[in-house]
Amino acid sequence: MNLDLNAIRQFGNIEFLAKQMVEGFITGLHKSPYHGFSVEFAEHRLYNTGESTRHIDWKVYGKTDRLYTKRYEEETNLRCLLLIDTSSSMFYPEKNLGKITFSTMAAASLAYLLQNQRDAVGLCTFSEDIEILTPIKSTPSHLHSIFLQLENLLKEQRSEKKSGVANVIHQIADKINKRSLVIIFSDMLENREEKDSIFPALQHLKHNNHEVLLFHVIDSQTEEEFNFSERPYEFIDIEKGHKIKINPSQVREAYLSATKQYFEDIKLKAGQYKIDFIKADINSGFDQILLNYLIKRNKMK
């Protein structure tokens, strides 16, 4: 589902938007090649040959002509912590504060879906250090408080904040004791030394028996494709404040080459560390987030 990012900030009621997006996504899922991921999967799972037939839900079989067994509360509970990078670079592009708006709405959609599945969810926002860290709980009042935190995040304006992804992930790995799924939204814009420390930090999470889903949040049109019209621009390093005035054609070739190498390095590292790494283009809607979450959750059964 695509929503105008400016409209999201102006509308404000993030809980209502999350509900609409998740319900629209689930409706579309039934019509897609991924129809195996259904709204029932939180309470049922496909019957495996050789299992006891005692828990088969014959009513569902009558409707779907497929064998499902009933799941019980202890089977369905998942613990999930949503991490959102709030460093300065996440407030790009300036016209709609796109990356932070997208990440906030994506996290809200996941929180709503998790609660719909009777799962527990927590929220962490961070820049150089942890800013907000809630418990991981499944109560409606707790979910409502998370939505309020996310609405406050939508009201934030950019300030000078550096990113400290690796430092924060190490802290999180030490703070959460029970096995959890950790979902991270970040543009991964670190300097080279810090970038090389991110994946060992993610490995710390995995070593502590947590699962990791890393969404690399980017504005593909400008950050990956460097799609700027040919006129003078002043490019500003959002985190360091450095400025340079140039025409895009003067640096396009060098920029595209460096960016391609940077993204390939990240993907390679993710593969080496067996981290689920997904590009999340802010122009491509939220279904990409929800679907990749379901795929990951399905693997964790």
Tokens 């947590």, residue located: 210
The better pLDDT of the pair 10, 149 is held by 149
Query: How sure is the predictor about 293, in pLDDT bands with cuts at 50, 70 and 90?
Result: very high
Structure tokens at 215: 């969404």
Rounded to whole angstroms, what are the CA distances from 198 to 131, 159, 167, 190, 229? Answer: 19, 23, 8, 9, 34
Q: What is the pLDDT of residue 267?
A: 87
Provide mean pLDDT across the span 198-206.
91
pLDDT at 37 over 50: no
Provide the sign of the torsion angle of the four alpha carbons 160, 166, 172, 175, taken in this order: negative
pLDDT at 35 over 50: no
Q: What is the pLDDT of residue 63?
A: 73
pTM metric for this prediction = 0.81
Q: What is the pLDDT of residue 71?
A: 58
The better pLDDT of the pair 161, 173 is held by 173
pLDDT at 42 over 60: no
pLDDT digits (tens, 9 = 90+) for 231-252: 888 887 766 677 888 888 899 9
Percent of the chain with pLDDT over 70: 86
Least-confidence region, from 48-57, 83-92, 137-146, 273-282: 48-57
Q: What is the pLDDT of residue 213?
A: 95
Identify the structural domains of the chain with CATH numbers, from first to last. Answer: 5-31+77-299 (3.40.50.410), 39-73 (no CATH)
User: By three-state DSSP, how is residue 91 classified?
Assistant: helix
Residues contacting 92, CB < 8 A, separation 6+: 98, 99, 187, 219, 223, 238
Percent of the chain with pLDDT over 90: 41
What is the distance between the alpha carbons of residues 140 and 151, in angstroms, rounded to a whole number? 17
Q: What is the pLDDT of residue 126?
A: 95
